[in-house]
Amino acid sequence: MDRAPRLSFTGHGAQTEAVVLLLHGGTPDSLAPVRPFDPSVLRMFPFGRSLARAGGGRIVVAKLRYAVRGWNGDRESPLADARWALDRIAERFGHLPVGLVGHSMGGRVALRVADYGGVSGGIHGGDLSRGVHSVAALAPWLPDGEPIPLLGRRALLLAHGTADRITDPARTTELAEKLSADGGNVELMTYPGARHSMMFPARPWHDLVSSFMVKTLLAPVPESPKAPPPH
């Protein structure tokens, strides 16, 4: 069975101004290959469609499918895949800002690779001349001992449902408070009664992420000049 990461792009056109990489969830331990119809993979598709609509042709959506389903302890399996994807994005869209959207394990991945320097370097710390500009971590998996992400000047959205029983919303709040206290550019959104799947309803999650990425990655569209009033 093939165990290699897969990366696909949608929405590439002449108006492209930014790229958003979707990072799906997984399991703590599994070397089973990720299948294209796994629920964690399919759950990210509506985020891609919402981003494409909100971007109006200005955002390319990159969808990563990890090689295997698990984090796998010290192997940290999905991190290598995410860094590989960022390298491919830099090769293809080197001058464009990048956003990361991760759910559950994908949220953990997004927070870990936000400052990845890539094949071209120069993206670490607070340098936003290229590479990752903004991160949305949705119901992120933040186990004991998880390091504080190196946010720099990047914008971070943390969102969690209060009824999540898979990952801990309290830890997401604690991370937001820690980063904010250190001067980070952090937004925290909590959804009362929402569970880990980000469904029922799903639309608020999609709209939240899309508006955040448009706000942090795209230049504002200038308003058309108003016609002078008739004399």
For residue 137, what pLDDT is reported?
Answer: 98
How far is the C-alpha of 163 from the C-alpha of 229, rounded, in Å? 54
Question: pLDDT averaged over the chain?
Answer: 90
Per residue in 114-151, pLDDT (tens digit) is 998 655 444 444 444 458 999 999 999 999 999 999 88
Cβ atoms of 156 and 187 closer than 8 Å? yes
Least confident of 24-38, 199-213, 214-228: 214-228
Per residue in 66-96, pLDDT (tens digit) is 999 999 999 999 999 999 999 999 999 988 9
For residue 21, what pLDDT is reported?
Answer: 98
Cβ atoms of 166 and 180 closer than 8 Å? no
For residue 1, what pLDDT is reported?
Answer: 52
How far is the C-alpha of 206 from the C-alpha of 44, rounded, in Å? 10
State the SS3 of the chain: CCCCCEEEEECCCCCCCEEEEEECCCECCCCCECCCCCHHHHCCHHHHHHHHHHHCCCEEEEEEECCECECCHHHCHHHHHHHHHHHHHHHHHCCCEEEEEEECHHHHHHHHHCCCCCCCCCCCCCCCCCEEEEEEEECCCCCCCCCCCCCCCCEEEEEEECCCCCCCHHHHHHHHHHHHHCCCEEEEEEECCCCCCCCCCCHHHHHHHHHHHHHHHCCCCCCCCCCCCCC
More confident residue, 140 or 14: 140
Per residue in 162-185, pLDDT (tens digit) is 999 999 999 999 999 999 999 999
